Structure 1
């Protein structure tokens, strides 16, 4: 589930590469953000960095968390009035640049923990080469200690705000409680092709399982069984069972036992390759 900070930053970053209008060889500040932000339609053809932030907040459904204004100075005042202005960067914060923060603005999507490191921003009405003439939406980076960076307005995100400000540590987003892992499913019982012997299978009877018995005896090396494969547990089958008992006497119940028996039948299946 995305956080409120992730929502607005996702919308802002999706605008990267957007450019304002151009006329007579110059960029002219004609852009969509003024026309699409109620109350700021009048600001078209003017500097639009603050309007861009207002538009992103509106699109993210977070219009109440950022000032709706085309003025950077008004944005600074808006956050200060709410006690949500800091000299430290924060994820999703509105950063203000220049004298008293009135020159330029953008959104912070990341920052280095090292105070000598950078902040990483998404800004409208800027450019890639650092010249005064802005032309579109770009991802930028600035030194945290750059004198051009005036400060940061902190939106009141529902999840809290991740900030480098020590005074705001207790307002950082709380990690979601880890869900207990469901117990591992019990392993399914191993499939087996071993079958039980029908008690009706005994010398002298006709039974469909006798065919299986004869096939197993032959496969396990106790054949040949003349006349196999049939459903009759006759003398040939009995002699093959006797050969099985000669090699596996623990399954024999008497000196001459023509019955395979339930345990003997299981052992015979394993010898024939069943698992």
Structure 2
């Protein structure tokens, strides 16, 4: 996620807020800081872990409803800027992604911003802010299957959480989970799996509204199968390691029961 976000450092918008991130999300040219986060999430295989919205206020509410909004930074968190008395309300003015934090500051990569302090954003920049500024409202925590690095003491001891109270950066993140192959009912699923049952699985995922296919489902398991199944896992309320894009027996059997007769 963060590697993809950093790859756009130096990108500049066109005239009238024309930018690739809003376009990638199917939205018009607009203020695009939240579109940047959503588009990077989709490109990096993290759709569903961040809200698909152009509104910072909606993004804040999205995390809050899921119990994943904090006053403390975390690596990869979606930071939400804006004071309660501001024109867009708490956390409704601007957003970006946390690359690092110390006891006093956060380092962020964000779209529709600048490096001169003006209110007119024009590109993707790395910025540093004071952690305790009233402008820094809150942080939305993505549900990474490999876990989370956070400064929030209330999250200390949770499964998959690494607590770094004073400072952390990307080097402190746990290694990403490597998708593995599983066998369910005698058939393989996951990277390297081949067979007509993979095509059938893909068609059920399309019927479930969880398609990430740019072409129709096929018999060879590919990244689109992983992303589509992960979207299905999220849609039925699974999170963390249970939403890694690889079927479990319970998940597969539920998909078959609900959508097997629709293909």
5+ residue gaps, structure 2: 84-89, 163-172, 176-263
**Residues 125-183 of structure 1: CA deviation (Å, up to 9, x unaligned):** 0001110100000000100001100000000111111000001122324968xxxxxxx
Q: 2:139 aligns to what?
A: 152
Q: Secondary structure of the residue that 1:54 maps to in structure 2?
A: helix
Cα distance in 2 for partners of 1:142, 1:123 equals 12
Secondary structure, in 3 states, of the residue corresponding to 2:157? helix
Q: Secondary structure at the match of 1:124?
A: strand
Among 83, 96, 99, the residue aligned to 2:80:
96
Judging changes above 3 Å, is the alpha-carbon distance between structure 1 residues 32 and 166 closer, same or farther for their aligned structure 2 residues?
A: same
* Whole-Å separation in 2 of the counterparts to 1:49 and 1:129: 17
1:76 to 46, 52, 60: 60
- 1:188-203 correspondence runs (5 A): none
Name the structure 1 match of 2:6.
13
Distance 1:154 1:175 in 2: 15
Runs of 4+ in 1 over 2 A off after TM superposition: 173-176
**Number of residues of Structure 1 aligned to a counterpart in Structure 2:** 157
- Asked if 1 retains the 8 angstrom alpha-carbon contact of 2:105 and 2:129, the reply is yes
Offset at 1:118?
0.7
Where 2:48 maps in the other structure, the secondary structure is helix
Aligned-residue CA RMSD (Å) = 1.4
Query: Which deviations, in whole Å up to 9, do the C-alpha atoms of 1:100-133 show, x marking residues without a partner?
Result: 1000000001101x2xx11000000000111010
* Counterpart Cα distance in 2 of 1:34 and 1:129: 23
Separation in 1 of the partners of 2:30 and 2:24?
15
| 1:62 aligned to which of 46, 67, 82 | 46
2:99 paired residue among 109, 130, 135: 109
State which of 24, 27, 37 in structure 2 corresponds to 1:36: 24
Q: Report the structure, 1 or 2, having the larger strand content.
A: 2
CA offsets, 1:50-69, max 9 Å, x none? 00000010011110100000
Cross-structure match for 1:129: 116
Shift of 1:45: 2.2
Deviations 1:78-100 (A, max 9, x none): 00000000000000000000131
